[in-house]
Amino acid sequence: MKTIDIDTRPFTDQKPGTSGLRKRVSVFQQPHYLENFVQSIFNTIGDLSGKTLVLGGDGRFYNLPAIQTILRMSSANGARSVIVGRDGLLSTPAASCVIRGREADGGIILSASHNPGGERGDFGIKFNASNGGPAPESLTERIYHESRHIASYRTLDTGAVDVAMGGSQDLNGMRVEVIDPVDDYAHLMEGLFDFNLIHQMFNSGHFRMRFDAMNAVTGPYATRILERMLGAEPGTVMNGVPLEDFGGLHPDPNLVYAKDLVEILYSKGGPDFGAAADGDGDRNMILGKRFFVTPSDSLAVMAANAHLLPGYRRGVRGIARSMPTSGAADRVAEALGVECFETPTGWKFFGNLLDEGRINLCGEESFGTGSDHVREKDGLWAVLFWLNMLAVKRAPVETIVRQHWRQFGRNYYSRHDYEGIPADAAQSMIEALRADVSGLEGKQIAGRAVAQGNDFEYTDPVDGSVTSRQGIRIIFEDGARIVFRLSGTGTEGATLRVYIESFEADPDRHDLETQAALSDLIDAAGEIGRIRHYTGRDEPSVIT
């Protein structure tokens, strides 16, 4: 076995987006493509000697070949050891947990999250630092810079390593440690939540749930924790075996893509609680009997009740939400007298706040919630949080949310996505909005006065770094908002996201259907953004 240096030429498109480098599988299959990016990571983080990395992915097509490539390159680049999930599996939050728990120097996660998988689907790769969190912008920029200048990469001239069996083996002087992908994570969860109480709830015979793993990575995690450790009945977990193409499902836990689960929860005699996670296990959707909890509300309800759970007894220290996420959590933070931060879209912006202890809960409208237990959003953690809350409060999901609205008011909230639109039209639209939006200040739109119109810019309170152009915002005096931004995770054309929100304090007006409650703002967004003109579409492709 020997180390070899292979000549290569830069690819120009290896710029990480909202969450790592995501491309079609066929792009990653080009000779040297993956290797170039991995070497760019290694060149950026510096000398690997003596270092330990964690490696795993969501099991999608190309996961296993990529694992082999990265193992060889890690050894050739001098790493001391790589901890890899058995069969190449690690959910994104579990990878974060293993990096932190085993004090590794960082990790490489292979996933395109909720994007479809399979040979014609997407693949992705991202680097997480020693805190277990996604590399900050400053690092991803340097990786991108490296990728533009790379001339060779270093690898080993050897066959495949067996990652199907646990235990340690040697790869040309580097230790490869294959671990059970669930153990560390399950142990962490046991320390945060009251497993006995949840077990009693399942045992009572009066509580049933369904968890949809969408044929993706959370299957083994949910089966072990919900069915084996917490005593939920067999069959609670559906689509529980990870498949390379997710069985053709689009593993994004929302009302559109988790349709089967939604039907079960809305059916007669259906279970009391439903949840789903995405491809790599960091997103979650929460459902009650015939009731959908918006992710923004979920974060707020969790914050208001955190003190009831063992891992959060000392209460909420501070909350952060991404800018487009509804303001529901802000009201809880205010009531608790703790700080609330508004960050750009993407989990990496929570990292500094979590590391500094300024916050211990955070979330995004895009079905992401998390805490300081890891440095990624965490789907199954959110489900366990809700289960623990339900077991303590002994009330149905809907009752808990309605009580929350009565206490704090209701933020009606919806996101309209226009997927696969031409990239230049999308750019022109955002540029036009950017140029004009401040001119809306003081005007009346949809019967509301515009308080602010701007393009969101964030100054990180910890390191002072500034991130600009994060979304066009129209903020009304009564708290309503319209936000426009382009997706940073798509792989085909552009996706326009329009976020619409209004606030309603009056409990007599908490029963409106969301789209109806927001209809005047939705119309206004269409006019201000000239959505039809730029996208050529009459309707969004997905409404969440």
Catalytic residue positions, numbered: 113
Binding string, 353-392, against ligand G1P, x = CB under 6 A? Answer: -----------x-x-x------------------------
Q: Does 19 bind ligand G1P (CB under 6 A)?
A: yes
Contacts of 466 (CB under 8 A, 6+ apart): 457, 458, 459, 460
The first and second tokens of residue 137, run together, are 């912008």
Tell me which of 497, 503, 517, 534 binds ligand G1P, using CB under 6 A.
Answer: 497
375 close to 288: Cβ distance less than 8 angstroms: no
Q: Inter-axis angle of helices 379-393 and 397-408, to 10 degrees?
A: 90
Segment interacting with Zn ion (CB under 5 A) among 234-242, 276-284, 323-331, 389-397: 276-284
Q: Which is closer to ligand G1P, CB of 86 or CB of 126?
A: 126
Give, rounded to a whole angstrom, the gap between the first and last alpha carbons of the chain.
52
Residues numbered 322 to 341 that lie near ligand G1P (CB under 6 A) are 322
280 binds, among Zn ion, ligand G1P, none (CB under 5 to 8 A by kind): Zn ion
Q: How many CB atoms lie within 10 A of CB 14?
A: 20
Please state, in angstroms and as integers, the Cα–Cα distance from residue 117 to each residue in 213, 245, 249, 282, 480, following that order: 14, 5, 8, 16, 37
Min separation Cβ 322 and ligand G1P, Å: 6
Q: Which residue is nearest to ligand G1P (CB)?
A: 487
Q: Does 278 bind Zn ion (CB under 5 A)?
A: yes
Q: Does 115 bind Zn ion (CB under 5 A)?
A: no
Q: Does 113 bind ligand G1P (CB under 6 A)?
A: yes
Q: Does 345 bind ligand G1P (CB under 6 A)?
A: yes
Tell me which of 346, 379, 529, 540 binds ligand G1P, using CB under 6 A.
Answer: 346
Compute the residue count for the chain.
544
Contacts of 254 (CB under 8 A, 6+ apart): 285, 367, 542, 544
Segment interacting with Zn ion (CB under 5 A) among 220-228, 240-248, 274-282, 303-311: 274-282
Contacts of 303 (CB under 8 A, 6+ apart): 316, 319, 329, 332, 333, 336, 361
386 close to 286: Cβ distance less than 8 angstroms: yes
The first and second tokens of residue 122, run together, are 């997407």
Residues numbered 389 to 418 that lie near ligand G1P (CB under 6 A) are none
497 binds, among Zn ion, ligand G1P, none (CB under 5 to 8 A by kind): ligand G1P
| d(C-alpha 502, C-alpha 414), whole Å | 10
366 binds, among ligand G1P, Zn ion, none (CB under 5 to 8 A by kind): ligand G1P
The beta strand positions in 323-465, using DSSP E, are 339-343, 361-364, 368-371, 410-421, 444-445, 448-455, 458-459
Q: Does 113 bind Zn ion (CB under 5 A)?
A: yes
How many residues bind ligand G1P (CB under 6 A)? The answer is: 14
| d(C-alpha 369, C-alpha 319), whole Å | 11
Q: Which is closer to ligand G1P, CB of 211 or CB of 484?
A: 484
Q: Which residues pair with 369 in a beta bridge?
A: 363
In the chain, how long is the greatest CA-to-CA distance?
Answer: 73
Q: Which residue is nearest to Zn ion (CB)?
A: 113
Min separation Cβ 239 and Zn ion, Å: 16
Tell me which of 3, 18, 68, 428 binds ligand G1P, using CB under 6 A.
Answer: 18
61 binds, among Zn ion, ligand G1P, none (CB under 5 to 8 A by kind): none
Q: Does 280 bind Zn ion (CB under 5 A)?
A: yes
Residues numbered 471 to 490 that lie near ligand G1P (CB under 6 A) are 487-489
Q: Which residues pair with 485 in a beta bridge?
A: 497
Residues numbered 505 to 534 that lie near Zn ion (CB under 5 A) are none
418 close to 535: Cβ distance less than 8 angstroms: yes
Binding string, 306-325, against ligand G1P, x = CB under 6 A? Answer: ----------------x---
List of residues contacting Zn ion (CB under 5 A): 113, 278, 280, 282-283
List of residues contacting ligand G1P (CB under 6 A): 18-19, 113, 322, 345-347, 364, 366, 368, 487-489, 497
